[in-house]
Amino acid sequence: MKETYPKLRKRAKRAGAMIFFLDEAGFQSDPPLGRTYGLKGTTPVVVTSGQRQSINVISAVNACGAFWAATYTGKLNAESFVAFLKNFMKERPTKVFLVVDGHPAHKANSVKHYVQSLNGRLELHFLPPYAPDLNPDEFVWSHMKTNGVSKKPLRKNESLRERVEQDLADLHNNRELVRSFFCAESVAYAKD
């Protein structure tokens, strides 16, 4: 926070690069356990569709409010991560410094080869181990899980993927909200 990131920020400014933070998360259609209230003597009932669905999401945010995301099923591996990086880089005309966690897929040889093939247009920078509180992208998941699917259970025959993708599209169109993820004390170091 005090040494590494300020150096990275200076390098990014000199190179005209954008800094993004990337992370992954999973969503399930099962309603999360939580607290509620009801009339005395009656147990509150949350109506759900009874369908169990799951979807995974990968996203990247930057302090200027830029947001990118993609959904996928299954586990994240090096091959799928390279595919996501290709998709991400299509929309980036400038150099990108991408800050990621220590997930094994991020460190795989095929990922290193892909990054090298871009001739310096993309650099991966790693957060310290066990430091999710330093990643502003974690606030995307916090927002999505407290305001998205978990607060509005799926209706019968409704697709979890479509619901999550709509929530992601809403985030993409709300640059102010994305910028707010950089205001928390633990990630204020990354605010430009």
Contact status, residue 81 vs residue 111, Cβ threshold 8 Å: yes
Which residues sit opposite 64 in a β-bridge?
none
Checking if the pLDDT of 66 tops 80, the result is yes
d(CA 77, CA 132): 20
Query: Domains, the chain, ranges and CATH?
Result: 4-190 (3.30.420.10)
Checking if the pLDDT of 32 tops 60, the result is no
Looking at residue 97, its amino acid is F
Mean pLDDT score of the chain: 88
d(CA 18, CA 30): 37
Which whole number is the average pLDDT over 53-79? 92
Per-residue pLDDT tens over the stretch 134-180: 999 999 988 988 887 666 767 777 788 888 899 899 999 999 999 99
Instruction: Strand 18-28: give its sheet, edge to edge.
Output: 67-72, 54-61, 18-28, 96-100, 122-126
In this predicted structure, what is the pLDDT of residue 47?
A: 64
Record the pTM. Answer: 0.85
d(CA 154, CA 160): 7
Residue that is written with structure tokens 């795989």 in the block: 108
Checking if the pLDDT of 51 tops 80, the result is no
